[in-house]
Amino acid sequence: MSSTWGENIKLSVFGGSHTGAIGVVLDNLPPNQKIDLDAVRVQMARRAPGKDKTATTRAEADEPQILSGLLDGVTTGAPLAAIIANTNTRSKDYSDLKVHPRPGHADYTAAVRYDGANDIRGGGHFSGRLTACLVFAGAICRQILEKRGVTIGAHALRVGAAWDTPFDPVNVSAAELNALNTRFFAVQDADAEQKMRDEIECARLQADSIGGVIECAAVGMPAGIGNPMFGGVENVLASILYGIPAVKGVEFGAGFAVGEMRGSENNDPFYYDETGAVKTRTNNAGGILGGITTGMPVLFRIAVKPTPSIGQPQQTVDLTAHRDAPLMIVGRHDPCIVPRAIPVAEAAAAIALMDLLRGAWRD
Amino acid sequence: MSSTWGENIKLSVFGGSHTGAIGVVLDNLPPNQKIDLDAVRVQMARRAPGKDKTATTRAEADEPQILSGLLDGVTTGAPLAAIIANTNTRSKDYSDLKVHPRPGHADYTAAVRYDGANDIRGGGHFSGRLTACLVFAGAICRQILEKRGVTIGAHALRVGAAWDTPFDPVNVSAAELNALNTRFFAVQDADAEQKMRDEIECARLQADSIGGVIECAAVGMPAGIGNPMFGGVENVLASILYGIPAVKGVEFGAGFAVGEMRGSENNDPFYYDETGAVKTRTNNAGGILGGITTGMPVLFRIAVKPTPSIGQPQQTVDLTAHRDAPLMIVGRHDPCIVPRAIPVAEAAAAIALMDLLRGAWRD
Amino acid sequence: MSSTWGENIKLSVFGGSHTGAIGVVLDNLPPNQKIDLDAVRVQMARRAPGKDKTATTRAEADEPQILSGLLDGVTTGAPLAAIIANTNTRSKDYSDLKVHPRPGHADYTAAVRYDGANDIRGGGHFSGRLTACLVFAGAICRQILEKRGVTIGAHALRVGAAWDTPFDPVNVSAAELNALNTRFFAVQDADAEQKMRDEIECARLQADSIGGVIECAAVGMPAGIGNPMFGGVENVLASILYGIPAVKGVEFGAGFAVGEMRGSENNDPFYYDETGAVKTRTNNAGGILGGITTGMPVLFRIAVKPTPSIGQPQQTVDLTAHRDAPLMIVGRHDPCIVPRAIPVAEAAAAIALMDLLRGAWRD
Amino acid sequence: MSSTWGENIKLSVFGGSHTGAIGVVLDNLPPNQKIDLDAVRVQMARRAPGKDKTATTRAEADEPQILSGLLDGVTTGAPLAAIIANTNTRSKDYSDLKVHPRPGHADYTAAVRYDGANDIRGGGHFSGRLTACLVFAGAICRQILEKRGVTIGAHALRVGAAWDTPFDPVNVSAAELNALNTRFFAVQDADAEQKMRDEIECARLQADSIGGVIECAAVGMPAGIGNPMFGGVENVLASILYGIPAVKGVEFGAGFAVGEMRGSENNDPFYYDETGAVKTRTNNAGGILGGITTGMPVLFRIAVKPTPSIGQPQQTVDLTAHRDAPLMIVGRHDPCIVPRAIPVAEAAAAIALMDLLRGAWRD
């Protein structure tokens, strides 16, 4: 495994769905940063399961226990470590997953990678539960970023056939993002939420699941941040975003739409705004040129695949008998993880932008 | 700058469009690997400019001069270093770019990031010319991979409105990839090439440029490679692919299409093939589950933005006079970089897969 | 802070003397390794305080609680994480240390580095208590190494004026090392222990402390391990050994004695032993040539400074009043940390050698 | 191989004694730093061979050719790359070294590590010639450091039985260091140089070589630099210093002498100096407490082994015939590399301190 991430801050994530606890270490945070733990809990709650019919009914408090790095609510500069207890682990027999790997899950690949030693219970270290660690770490980082004027927010852009209004890439504001970034199932357009819930409910009633796309923006990032060629903003964001289970695509600004665009359309014209700052009139670049921030909103989208655990009969193999075999998955599942993945996307963005800013050195 | 990449092999890229040379160091390659330099030259030539009207007329031999790491055509285990001379640098005055940053280029962001010290001549270290270094390094890595049974190939999937036939995600073969991976402007479907050339020529005649999408596949990757959460195949590939200038999106397998898929449709059913190997009947996963290879073809797509240098009047700012200003770019430009970016995508894939395989340790 | 270490395995250490717990994450261990937790406890006990008059009377069980990475006593391949509770933290007032930094401690430098935010209680993250995390991680690594034939052991080579017999650099054996590596206050020569205890007791009676040197050997390392120039065995070992508080010198083989040696004396002649293996007749190289193991015992020494906390009056500054000030440290201290540091040296060696072996790839 | 180093700046070293060239890439240097290439040449000349009888008679200009990263003598922020041609490579047959590994050299270990593929000519990538790359990189870094008030200098502390006066650990000054750091065979005491030259000449006349110790100091480092536990000043310095061939020991401040010291003696009392700065009256800590600079001179020593190439008959093995064999090395060798290693030690220190300062971020 390689669950360590970061150049300028170091993130280490550990635990599995059914281990003693899951946890996270954040090394090299700046000292003297006041952390509001209630605001951290708000983020944890957004991701926590058991809210409604869009998510698994497994309910866990997800209360982080901070072991070090904070003193009287202020970062000390030493590694900030926290664990989250696994309180709702059904003691069922998971051994069948070793024999019959679930399609779309990591059961088979993990068995090959770890020579069968991987902890299969609840998906082990591959469980979406690990994203609680990202949300915790991101909740710390976003508070530090907010004091520096950086605000992050995301919404469900699509779930199946239902779409929300995309962000205005030029004018998306901190106020808009703040209206989203403490909500469960954040969308911009009230109608969109209901349409998306209908998509999800329909999938759930058919014992199926549904995928989606999340759009995330960060405003307030100063121009000049990023370290090309390989430490650019896109590289750094993508390298952590693909650590979120179920993400199969990451795009910035106009993203894949650039494939049909002309340069005259895609190029964002520069101008001076009334404050004397250099801005661009459009933002197809997603706030990033040459891997470096332009000062415009940083904008990205991630594709979230439908939850692989579904209640329909599936085809798999029997790894013991070496033959094909049918599979019927029983248990609690999210028919759609998009709503719960929204705070995870924001958290990953916060960690990545923190890392990038932490490495900026002005001479 | 941070032009160093890799966990298990270390890549260091240096140089600018108009510096003495560009170059690359590849550290920690396995020893005793026979390298065919003619095959390297084939790859260099695919990326080199000056071929036809789809590309800039700047012509350079791009002959790599190997300084170390090869002895009698065999890797020694010491860092493999090569430089490529910059032979065709027009000695014109580039100082205007410091005053009038080109929309869609890194001129402005680099000036902020490097406090105006960046080498602006020909785009400096941000020039697409640096991809010659990736192609060289990739040409080394792909030869080593080929001996281990891994074959990589890519094609232009779309240019503007023109599309090529996508790879069959399940059945794409080494033979098909080998038919593509030594060609210039590789496509699967002969009609597609002409349609794409028409798109490009049309853009060129309008003093414009056009974007596209490249699809790349690697077959022969053994199952069980990748280091989740953050060292997974997607994370590693994306972190280098976003080092290619102009890439604004990366997706794997079904990619962004998962946003409209059901789990029952997206899940790839497992089965035993006639050789006793575990396979999947579909390959929406793009050969990767939980960040780890499944043994199926590894499949990804990158979105390539239209070249920002266009011959039309544009709006920018005058950074000296602090006011808006018109801009007219004169010179040699690629109306579409997709054809030349195909070998670059393959090269980046080869480097990334080499890094992942190099880190695999069997107990 | 940067309490993350390693290239091929990733170690993350967190916690402080008086935080909720201290802990450690070990990422990228090989899967399917059986771990004997009783053997881990033996190592923890060797380092734990409160044994006798050579050490602080603070007594803590130092029982590690494993949170993830082990299933039924076998490594899963996922990050192995453990915490150790801080059970014996006297709730006294430490605020005076912020005003009056202790000479020889990190109180002053940490205050500058972390702008006064560092947790000063018990030394915070700089406390020798953190070495319990190294011992835990090392105890895991050494068990994996032992199955591959690598045995590590150390002894107190000197404490003040008292010396133990050095290892025979050529013939030191696994049996000898095993006789040392489960003992408290390991020495080769029974007389040496008493002389060292006398040195320590004498220092203690004078409210003083005393330094020493620890010698450590690893036998069974195969030839050909190490990655020069900067990933050589010496570089890797030194980079972790200097993470042990109080270490002020690291030397390999003949070490600083090479300064007076001739080449004819220092060069270790090669020969074939009776098993057909290449050996050297002497081992001034400490088992390392060009950063790579020779197959001979790997041998190093570390200099351990006297505990800075002493019961004598000292001179310091008053950082609030900005003037010089006297200091009298009251409390429990080790008059000599050499005995407790022996298992820490072994543990650091085990982690470093594990990292080096983990990165070895045979083609 | 792993010839890449650094956290905040990235150093990549390549080449071998007889390859086309040797070279170095320095990534992530601050932009806008004026570099005096004549001052770089001064450092290169200090290390270059052929000066007098203390060194090999191989004479090479060692003129670095800068390929990128400098524009009009100023750093651009892009990777700074340079190569140094190998102009004086005698075209003799080196194949015997593959059969008869030289004692004390890396011939044998490299053959095992690289399965016989390593370039043995002149020692290949293990050649001391590679230190020219360190000197170049260090010469760049020290100029940047000097503008920030950091001055580095070193001297031969001992050669065999001859000793120079050690630095005053408290009062060593920039003036003293500047008097040393452009000299060949830098010593503080004129007598010492002659005594050392006598030691070397005596060894040379006996077809032997002799080792030594180099002491290095850096003054002007601000307090508060370093990232414990594993990114401390000692860890970072040691990790690069052990990349210099022949170094077998590294110690800081009092170093191994702490083994006989009492805490009351070793602790450095704090006081306020006349400028209101916190200082220590002694400097046994070598300017480092808890891995972080104190603001006092940073002081370290390295042990340099006697050149393994000697003109006396030696014992080795015949790796082809699998039997013991005599060896007689013929050719040009340094009877003592200490004089030429002095600028290398300074260079390594400059690179390490640059890396540490580059990572310092003030909130």
The H or E element that residue B21 is part of is strand B21-27
Q: Can you tell me the distance from the alpha carbon of C79 to that of A126, in angstroms, rounded to the nearest whole number?
A: 12
* pLDDT reported for residue A241: 98
Is D358's Cβ below 8 Å from some Cβ in A?
yes
Looking at the DSSP bridge assignments, the partners of residue B314 are B327
Q: Which residues of A touch D360 (CB under 8 A)?
A: 361
Which of A28, A358, A363 is facing D32, going by the closest CB pair? A363
Which of C4, C22, C118 is facing A77, going by the closest CB pair? C118
Q: With bands split at pLDDT 50, 70 and 90, how would you rate the model's confidence at C363?
A: very low
DSSP state letter for B255: G
Pair type for strands D298-304 and D314-318 = unpaired
Q: Pick from B145, B152, B214, B142: which is nearest to B179 by CA?
A: B152
- Placement of tokens 């995600």 in the chain: B169
Q: Pick from C198, C84, C76: which is nearest to C137 by CA?
A: C84
Is A19's Cβ below 8 Å from some Cβ in B?
no
User: Residue A155 is encoded by which pair of tokens?
Assistant: 């919404």
Note whether C76 contacts A13, CB cutoff 8 Å.
no
Domains and CATH numbers, chain D: 4-358 (3.60.150.10)
Neighbouring C-alpha atoms within 13 Å toward the C-beta of A274: 0
Of the residues C133, C256, C279, C358, the best mutation for testing chain D's interface (the one with the most D CB atoms within 10 Å of its CB) is C256
D window 32-91, beta carbon within 8 A of A: 32-33
Q: Which residues of C touch B30 (CB under 8 A)?
A: 361, 363
Q: Pick from A36, D69, D92, C1: which is nearest to B16 by CA?
A: D69
Q: Can you tell me the distance from the alpha carbon of D309 to that of D355, in angstroms, rounded to the nearest whole number?
A: 34
Note whether D68 contacts B20, CB cutoff 8 Å.
yes
* For residue A218, pLDDT beyond 90: yes
Q: Which residues of A touch B126 (CB under 8 A)?
A: 228, 290
Q: Which residues of A touch B7 (CB under 8 A)?
A: 2
Q: Can you tell me the distance from the alpha carbon of B85 to that of B61, in angstroms, rounded to the nearest whole number?
A: 9
DSSP state letter for A81: E
Mean pLDDT of D234-262: 98
Choice between C363 and C58, residue whose per-residue pLDDT is larger? C58
Q: Can you tell me the distance from the alpha carbon of B101 to that of B108, in angstroms, rounded to the nearest whole number?
A: 5
Which of B32, B227, B361 is facing C361, going by the closest CB pair? B361
Mean pLDDT of C69-84: 97
* pLDDT reported for residue A83: 97
Angle between helices B131-147 and B37-47 (to 10 degrees): 140
User: Residue D88 is encoded by which pair of tokens?
Assistant: 């004086």
Q: Can you tell me the distance from the alpha carbon of A56 to that of A332, in angstroms, rounded to the nearest whole number?
A: 5
**D13 touches B79 (CB < 8 A):** yes
Over the stretch D195-231, which tens digit does the pLDDT of each residue have?
999 999 999 999 999 999 999 999 999 999 999 999 9
Looking at the DSSP bridge assignments, the partners of residue A218 are A152, A298
**What separation in angstroms does the CA of C141 have from each of C69, C227, C351, C357?**
13, 20, 6, 11
Neighbouring C-alpha atoms within 13 Å toward the C-beta of D274: 0
* For residue B352, pLDDT beyond 70: yes
Q: What is the mean pLDDT of chain A?
A: 94
Over the stretch D53-93, which tens digit does the pLDDT of each residue have?
777 666 667 899 999 999 999 999 999 999 999 987 666 77
Note whether B212 contacts A267, CB cutoff 8 Å.
no
Note whether D108 contacts C289, CB cutoff 8 Å.
yes
* pLDDT reported for residue D363: 44
Is B30's Cβ below 8 Å from some Cβ in C?
yes
> In this complex, which chains have at least 3 CB pairs below 8 Å with chain C?
A, B, D
* For residue C61, pLDDT beyond 90: no
Mean pLDDT of B86-102: 82
When computed from its CA atoms, the radius of gyration of chain A, rounded to whole angstroms, is 21
Note whether C68 contacts A16, CB cutoff 8 Å.
yes
Which of A20, A66, A124 is facing C78, going by the closest CB pair? A124
> DSSP letters of B303-359?
EEPPPS--SSEEEEEETTTTEEEEEE--S---S--HHHHHHHHHHHHHHHHHHHHHT
* For residue C31, pLDDT beyond 60: yes
Please give the backbone phi and psi of residue B131, each rounded to the nearest 5 degrees, phi first.
-65, -15
DSSP state letter for B138: H
Q: Which residues of C touch D227 (CB under 8 A)?
A: 1-2
Which of B33, B227, B358 is facing C361, going by the closest CB pair? B358
Q: With bands split at pLDDT 50, 70 and 90, how would you rate the model's confidence at A60?
A: low
* pLDDT reported for residue B49: 83
Over the stretch B182-217, which tens digit does the pLDDT of each residue have?
999 999 998 999 999 999 999 999 999 999 999 999
Q: With bands split at pLDDT 50, 70 and 90, how would you rate the model's confidence at A59?
A: low
User: Residue B223 is encoded by which pair of tokens?
Assistant: 């199952």
B window 220-249, beta carbon within 8 A of C: 227
* For residue C45, pLDDT beyond 70: yes
Q: Can you tell me the distance from the alpha carbon of D311 to that of D205, in angstroms, rounded to the nearest whole number?
A: 10
Please report, in angstroms and rounded to a whole number, the separation of the first and last CA atoms in chain C: 38
Over the stretch D146-184, which tens digit does the pLDDT of each residue have?
999 999 999 999 999 999 999 999 999 999 999 999 999
Note whether A20 contacts C115, CB cutoff 8 Å.
no
Helix ranges restricted to H, chain C: 37-47, 95-99, 107-113, 131-147, 174-180, 190-205, 233-241, 263-266, 338-358
* pLDDT reported for residue B363: 44
Q: Pick from D301, D297, D278: which is nearest to D288 by CA?
A: D297
Over the stretch B26-85, which tens digit does the pLDDT of each residue have?
999 999 999 999 999 999 999 998 777 777 666 667 899 999 999 999 999 999 999 999
Size of interface A-D (CB pairs under 8 A): 22
* pLDDT reported for residue B88: 72
Least confident of A106-110, B27-31, C59-63: C59-63
Note whether C119 contacts A31, CB cutoff 8 Å.
no
DSSP state letter for C295: S
Q: Pick from A174, C304, A339, A254: which is nearest to B306 by CA?
A: A254
B window 267-296, beta carbon within 8 A of A: 267-272, 276, 278, 280-281, 284-286, 288-295
Q: With bands split at pLDDT 50, 70 and 90, how would you rate the model's confidence at A92?
A: confident
Is B319's Cβ below 8 Å from some Cβ in A?
yes
* pLDDT reported for residue B59: 62
* For residue D306, pLDDT beyond 80: yes
* pLDDT reported for residue C331: 79
Mean pLDDT of A15-43: 96
Q: Can you tell me the distance from the alpha carbon of C279 to that of C222, in angstroms, rounded to the nearest whole number?
A: 11
The H or E element that residue B79 is part of is none
Q: How far B216 CA sits from the closest chain A CA (Å)?
A: 14
Mean pLDDT of D13-35: 95
Question: Whole-model pTM?
Answer: 0.97
Is C309 one of the annotated binding-site residues? Answer: yes
**C126 touches C245 (CB < 8 A):** yes
Angle between helices C338-358 and C233-241 (to 10 degrees): 140
* For residue B1, pLDDT beyond 60: no
**C214 touches C338 (CB < 8 A):** yes
**What separation in angstroms does the CA of A178 have from each of A142, A155, A357?**
12, 11, 21
- Residue B248, SS3? strand
User: Residue B236 is encoded by which pair of tokens?
Assistant: 């590693």
Q: What is the mean pLDDT of chain B?
A: 94
Q: With bands split at pLDDT 50, 70 and 90, how would you rate the model's confidence at C91?
A: low
Residue A168's identity, in one-letter code, is D
Is C117's Cβ below 8 Å from some Cβ in A?
yes
**What separation in angstroms does the CA of B355 have from each of A106, B233, B293?**
21, 10, 14
Q: Pick from D20, A59, C26: which is nearest to B83 by CA?
A: D20
Q: Can you tell me the distance from the alpha carbon of D259 to that of D255, in angstroms, rounded to the nearest whole number?
A: 8
The percent of residues above 90 in pLDDT, for chain D, comes to 88
Over the stretch A281-319, which tens digit does the pLDDT of each residue have?
999 999 999 999 999 999 999 999 999 999 999 999 999
Note whether B208 contacts A255, CB cutoff 8 Å.
no
* pLDDT reported for residue A363: 45
Over the stretch B277-307, which tens digit does the pLDDT of each residue have?
999 999 999 999 999 999 999 999 999 999 9
Taking CA D98 as the corner, what is the angle to CA D92 and CA D103, rounded to the nearest 5 degrees? 100
Is A126's Cβ below 8 Å from some Cβ in B?
yes
